[in-house]
Amino acid sequence: MTAKTTVKPTARLIEVFSAIQGEGLNVGTRQIFVRFALCDLRCHFCDSAHTWNAPSTCKIERTPGLRDFEVHSNPVPLPILLEWVERQNLPSLHDSISLTGGEPLLHAPFLALFLPQVRDITNLPIYLETGGHRPEQLAIILPYLDSVGMDFKLPSVSGESYWQEHAECLKLCHDSHLNVFIKIIVSQTTDPTELERAALLVAAVSPEIPVFLQPVTPLADSEKLTAKSILAPSPDQVLKWQALMKKFVPHVRVVPQTHKMLNQL
Ligand code: SF4
Protein backbone atom coordinates (compact mmCIF):
# COMPACT_ATOMS: atom_id res chain seq x y z
CA MET A 1 0.00 0.00 0.00
CA THR A 2 1.39 3.43 -0.90
CA ALA A 3 1.30 6.13 1.76
CA LYS A 4 -0.86 9.12 0.86
CA THR A 5 0.93 12.46 1.16
CA THR A 6 -1.05 15.67 1.52
CA VAL A 7 0.58 18.95 0.59
CA LYS A 8 -0.12 21.52 3.25
CA PRO A 9 -1.05 24.93 1.76
CA THR A 10 1.58 27.63 2.23
CA ALA A 11 2.10 31.16 0.93
CA ARG A 12 5.15 33.28 0.33
CA LEU A 13 4.59 36.60 2.04
CA ILE A 14 6.29 39.96 2.29
CA GLU A 15 4.44 41.32 5.32
CA VAL A 16 1.26 41.54 7.40
CA PHE A 17 0.41 44.84 9.07
CA SER A 18 -2.39 47.26 9.92
CA ALA A 19 -2.59 50.59 8.05
CA ILE A 20 -4.75 53.25 6.46
CA GLN A 21 -5.58 52.54 2.83
CA GLY A 22 -4.12 55.28 0.65
CA GLU A 23 -5.66 54.55 -2.74
CA GLY A 24 -8.95 54.20 -4.57
CA LEU A 25 -12.46 53.69 -3.29
CA ASN A 26 -11.38 52.53 0.20
CA VAL A 27 -9.07 55.49 0.78
CA GLY A 28 -8.83 56.46 4.45
CA THR A 29 -10.23 53.20 5.79
CA ARG A 30 -8.28 50.95 8.16
CA GLN A 31 -7.23 47.61 6.78
CA ILE A 32 -5.24 44.55 7.70
CA PHE A 33 -2.77 44.30 4.83
CA VAL A 34 -1.57 40.88 3.73
CA ARG A 35 1.18 41.57 1.19
CA PHE A 36 2.06 38.57 -0.96
CA ALA A 37 5.41 38.03 -2.63
CA LEU A 38 5.90 37.65 -6.41
CA CYS A 39 4.74 39.70 -9.37
CA ASP A 40 4.83 38.75 -13.04
CA LEU A 41 4.67 42.36 -14.29
CA ARG A 42 7.47 44.93 -14.34
CA CYS A 43 5.72 48.31 -14.30
CA HIS A 44 8.14 51.19 -14.80
CA PHE A 45 6.63 53.07 -11.85
CA CYS A 46 6.60 50.11 -9.43
CA ASP A 47 7.12 51.16 -5.81
CA SER A 48 6.99 47.52 -4.65
CA ALA A 49 9.89 46.03 -6.59
CA HIS A 50 10.92 44.29 -3.37
CA THR A 51 7.90 42.01 -3.89
CA TRP A 52 8.98 40.69 -7.30
CA ASN A 53 10.88 37.76 -5.84
CA ALA A 54 10.02 35.69 -2.79
CA PRO A 55 12.29 36.53 0.15
CA SER A 56 13.34 33.83 2.62
CA THR A 57 11.63 35.72 5.44
CA CYS A 58 8.54 37.89 5.97
CA LYS A 59 7.72 40.68 8.45
CA ILE A 60 4.70 40.31 10.70
CA GLU A 61 3.43 43.18 12.83
CA ARG A 62 2.84 42.12 16.41
CA THR A 63 0.50 45.00 17.44
CA PRO A 64 -1.76 46.70 14.86
CA GLY A 65 -0.19 49.96 13.68
CA LEU A 66 2.89 49.87 15.97
CA ARG A 67 5.32 48.49 13.34
CA ASP A 68 6.78 46.14 15.96
CA PHE A 69 7.61 43.54 13.34
CA GLU A 70 8.63 39.95 14.00
CA VAL A 71 10.60 38.14 11.29
CA HIS A 72 9.42 34.67 10.22
CA SER A 73 10.48 32.18 7.56
CA ASN A 74 8.81 31.76 4.18
CA PRO A 75 6.73 29.96 3.06
CA VAL A 76 4.05 30.41 5.72
CA PRO A 77 1.54 27.62 6.52
CA LEU A 78 -2.12 28.60 6.22
CA PRO A 79 -3.03 28.12 9.92
CA ILE A 80 -0.15 30.38 10.96
CA LEU A 81 -1.28 33.19 8.64
CA LEU A 82 -4.79 32.84 10.07
CA GLU A 83 -3.33 33.30 13.57
CA TRP A 84 -1.42 36.42 12.52
CA VAL A 85 -4.48 38.01 10.93
CA GLU A 86 -6.62 37.13 13.93
CA ARG A 87 -4.05 38.77 16.23
CA GLN A 88 -4.37 41.99 14.18
CA ASN A 89 -8.15 41.97 14.37
CA LEU A 90 -8.79 44.07 17.49
CA PRO A 91 -12.48 44.84 18.13
CA SER A 92 -13.88 47.64 15.93
CA LEU A 93 -10.48 48.66 14.50
CA HIS A 94 -10.49 47.41 10.91
CA ASP A 95 -12.86 47.96 8.01
CA SER A 96 -11.56 45.16 5.79
CA ILE A 97 -8.68 42.89 4.88
CA SER A 98 -6.54 43.98 1.93
CA LEU A 99 -4.87 41.35 -0.26
CA THR A 100 -1.98 43.12 -1.92
CA GLY A 101 1.44 42.47 -3.40
CA GLY A 102 3.08 41.92 -5.71
CA GLU A 103 0.26 40.16 -7.48
CA PRO A 104 -1.97 38.28 -5.02
CA LEU A 105 -3.62 36.31 -7.85
CA LEU A 106 -0.37 34.36 -8.27
CA HIS A 107 -1.46 32.70 -4.99
CA ALA A 108 -5.01 31.86 -6.11
CA PRO A 109 -5.04 28.17 -5.00
CA PHE A 110 -3.84 29.21 -1.52
CA LEU A 111 -6.36 32.07 -1.37
CA ALA A 112 -9.25 29.76 -2.29
CA LEU A 113 -8.53 27.88 0.94
CA PHE A 114 -7.48 30.82 3.08
CA LEU A 115 -10.24 33.35 2.31
CA PRO A 116 -13.30 31.44 3.55
CA GLN A 117 -11.49 30.66 6.79
CA VAL A 118 -10.20 34.18 7.39
CA ARG A 119 -13.68 35.56 6.79
CA ASP A 120 -15.15 33.11 9.33
CA ILE A 121 -12.57 34.12 11.91
CA THR A 122 -12.60 37.90 11.43
CA ASN A 123 -16.00 38.63 9.89
CA LEU A 124 -14.24 41.33 7.85
CA PRO A 125 -14.89 42.06 4.15
CA ILE A 126 -12.13 41.00 1.74
CA TYR A 127 -10.61 43.52 -0.67
CA LEU A 128 -8.30 42.47 -3.53
CA GLU A 129 -5.71 44.73 -5.19
CA THR A 130 -4.68 43.32 -8.54
CA GLY A 131 -3.00 44.22 -11.80
CA GLY A 132 -6.16 42.94 -13.47
CA HIS A 133 -4.34 40.69 -15.93
CA ARG A 134 -5.10 37.16 -14.64
CA PRO A 135 -8.79 36.39 -15.26
CA GLU A 136 -8.40 32.62 -14.74
CA GLN A 137 -6.96 33.05 -11.26
CA LEU A 138 -9.45 35.79 -10.43
CA ALA A 139 -12.33 33.45 -11.29
CA ILE A 140 -11.04 30.94 -8.71
CA ILE A 141 -11.29 33.35 -5.77
CA LEU A 142 -14.16 35.55 -6.94
CA PRO A 143 -16.73 33.91 -4.61
CA TYR A 144 -14.69 34.97 -1.56
CA LEU A 145 -14.22 38.65 -2.45
CA ASP A 146 -16.26 41.72 -1.53
CA SER A 147 -14.40 44.42 -3.42
CA VAL A 148 -11.66 44.70 -6.03
CA GLY A 149 -9.32 47.54 -6.94
CA MET A 150 -8.12 46.73 -10.43
CA ASP A 151 -5.28 48.43 -12.23
CA PHE A 152 -5.48 49.23 -15.91
CA LYS A 153 -1.86 49.35 -17.06
CA LEU A 154 -1.35 52.00 -19.72
CA PRO A 155 1.48 50.93 -22.05
CA SER A 156 2.73 54.54 -22.28
CA VAL A 157 3.24 54.70 -18.50
CA SER A 158 3.75 51.16 -17.20
CA GLY A 159 5.40 49.47 -20.20
CA GLU A 160 2.82 46.67 -19.84
CA SER A 161 -0.17 45.99 -22.13
CA TYR A 162 -3.11 43.78 -21.07
CA TRP A 163 -6.26 45.31 -22.57
CA GLN A 164 -8.03 42.01 -23.27
CA GLU A 165 -7.23 40.62 -19.81
CA HIS A 166 -8.35 43.86 -18.13
CA ALA A 167 -11.68 43.63 -19.96
CA GLU A 168 -12.16 40.00 -18.90
CA CYS A 169 -11.28 40.68 -15.26
CA LEU A 170 -13.57 43.70 -15.08
CA LYS A 171 -16.47 41.77 -16.56
CA LEU A 172 -15.94 38.91 -14.10
CA CYS A 173 -16.10 41.32 -11.14
CA HIS A 174 -19.08 43.21 -12.50
CA ASP A 175 -21.05 40.05 -13.32
CA SER A 176 -20.40 38.81 -9.76
CA HIS A 177 -21.79 42.08 -8.36
CA LEU A 178 -18.54 42.91 -6.59
CA ASN A 179 -17.73 46.44 -5.60
CA VAL A 180 -15.09 47.11 -8.26
CA PHE A 181 -13.15 50.20 -9.24
CA ILE A 182 -10.37 50.92 -11.72
CA LYS A 183 -7.08 52.60 -10.88
CA ILE A 184 -4.93 54.09 -13.62
CA ILE A 185 -1.49 55.49 -12.88
CA VAL A 186 -0.78 58.54 -15.02
CA SER A 187 2.51 60.32 -15.63
CA GLN A 188 3.78 63.10 -17.92
CA THR A 189 4.18 60.52 -20.70
CA THR A 190 0.57 59.28 -20.62
CA ASP A 191 -0.90 58.82 -24.09
CA PRO A 192 -4.44 60.29 -23.99
CA THR A 193 -5.65 57.80 -26.64
CA GLU A 194 -4.95 55.04 -24.12
CA LEU A 195 -7.11 56.85 -21.54
CA GLU A 196 -9.90 57.03 -24.08
CA ARG A 197 -9.52 53.32 -24.81
CA ALA A 198 -9.63 52.58 -21.05
CA ALA A 199 -12.78 54.69 -20.63
CA LEU A 200 -14.50 52.91 -23.52
CA LEU A 201 -13.53 49.56 -22.08
CA VAL A 202 -15.04 50.45 -18.68
CA ALA A 203 -18.18 51.90 -20.30
CA ALA A 204 -18.66 48.69 -22.27
CA VAL A 205 -18.89 46.74 -18.99
CA SER A 206 -20.73 49.42 -16.99
CA PRO A 207 -20.42 53.22 -17.10
CA GLU A 208 -21.15 53.25 -13.35
CA ILE A 209 -17.79 51.69 -12.44
CA PRO A 210 -15.63 54.35 -10.75
CA VAL A 211 -12.24 55.19 -12.27
CA PHE A 212 -9.39 56.67 -10.23
CA LEU A 213 -6.65 58.53 -12.06
CA GLN A 214 -3.65 58.37 -9.78
CA PRO A 215 -0.77 60.74 -10.61
CA VAL A 216 2.42 58.73 -10.27
CA THR A 217 4.33 59.27 -7.04
CA PRO A 218 7.99 59.98 -7.91
CA LEU A 219 10.08 57.11 -6.52
CA ALA A 220 12.49 57.66 -3.64
CA ASP A 221 16.14 57.00 -4.57
CA SER A 222 16.11 53.66 -2.76
CA GLU A 223 13.13 52.53 -4.86
CA LYS A 224 14.61 53.37 -8.29
CA LEU A 225 15.39 49.78 -9.14
CA THR A 226 13.76 50.02 -12.56
CA ALA A 227 16.10 52.85 -13.63
CA LYS A 228 13.49 54.95 -15.49
CA SER A 229 12.63 58.22 -13.84
CA ILE A 230 8.91 58.90 -14.17
CA LEU A 231 7.52 62.38 -13.67
CA ALA A 232 4.10 63.25 -12.27
CA PRO A 233 1.70 64.87 -14.75
CA SER A 234 1.11 68.62 -14.71
CA PRO A 235 -2.19 69.96 -13.28
CA ASP A 236 -3.14 70.98 -16.80
CA GLN A 237 -2.66 67.43 -18.13
CA VAL A 238 -4.73 65.89 -15.34
CA LEU A 239 -7.60 68.35 -15.86
CA LYS A 240 -7.68 67.54 -19.59
CA TRP A 241 -7.54 63.78 -19.05
CA GLN A 242 -10.34 63.77 -16.49
CA ALA A 243 -12.54 65.75 -18.90
CA LEU A 244 -11.64 63.36 -21.73
CA MET A 245 -12.62 60.25 -19.76
CA LYS A 246 -15.81 61.78 -18.34
CA LYS A 247 -17.24 61.87 -21.87
CA PHE A 248 -17.56 58.08 -21.57
CA VAL A 249 -17.70 57.28 -17.83
CA PRO A 250 -19.15 59.76 -15.29
CA HIS A 251 -17.21 58.74 -12.17
CA VAL A 252 -13.59 59.75 -12.81
CA ARG A 253 -11.72 60.98 -9.75
CA VAL A 254 -8.14 62.21 -9.50
CA VAL A 255 -6.57 61.07 -6.23
CA PRO A 256 -2.85 60.81 -5.43
CA GLN A 257 -1.49 58.16 -3.05
CA THR A 258 -2.53 59.55 0.35
CA HIS A 259 -0.56 57.03 2.42
CA LYS A 260 2.67 58.56 1.06
CA MET A 261 1.46 61.99 2.23
CA LEU A 262 0.87 60.53 5.69
CA ASN A 263 4.37 59.05 5.57
CA GLN A 264 2.82 55.66 6.13
CA LEU A 265 4.41 52.35 5.26
S1 SF4 B 1 1.77 45.04 -10.84
FE2 SF4 B 1 2.22 46.20 -8.98
S3 SF4 B 1 3.84 45.04 -7.93
FE4 SF4 B 1 3.75 44.28 -10.04
S5 SF4 B 1 5.31 45.50 -11.15
FE6 SF4 B 1 3.32 46.53 -11.43
S7 SF4 B 1 3.22 48.05 -9.76
FE8 SF4 B 1 4.85 46.55 -9.23
The CA 224 to ligand 1 mean position distance, Å, reads: 13
Q: Compute the distance from residue 171 Cα to the ligand 1 centre, in Å.
A: 21
Closest to 128 measured CA to CA, from 167, 156, 81, 170: 170
Q: Is the CB of 43 under 6 A from ligand 1?
A: yes
State which ligand 1 atom lies nearest to the alpha carbon of 185.
7
User: How much distance in Å is there from the Cα of 102 to the middle of ligand 1?
Assistant: 6
Ligand 1 center to 182 CA (angstroms): 15
Q: Domain extents for the chain? A: 10-261
Atom of ligand 1 nearest to the CA of 158: 6
pLDDT values of the chain reduced to their tens digit, one per residue, 265 residues: 555 667 899 999 999 999 999 999 999 999 999 999 999 999 998 988 999 999 999 999 999 999 999 999 999 999 999 999 999 999 999 999 999 999 999 999 999 999 999 999 999 999 999 999 999 999 999 999 999 999 999 999 999 999 999 999 999 999 999 999 999 999 999 999 999 999 999 999 999 999 999 999 876 655 554 445 789 999 999 999 999 999 999 999 999 888 877 777 6
Amino acid at 242: Q
In this structure, the residue with its CA closest to atom 7 of ligand 1 is 46
Residue 111 near residue 42 (C-beta atoms within 8 A): no
- Best of 15, 36, 39 to mutate for ligand 1, by most ligand atoms within 8 A of CB? 39
Structure pTM? 0.93
Distance 265 CA to ligand 1 centre (A): 17
Whether residue 5 contacts residue 247, with contact meaning beta carbons closer than 8 Å, is answered with no
- Which fold is adopted by the domain 10-261? TIM Barrel (3.20.20)
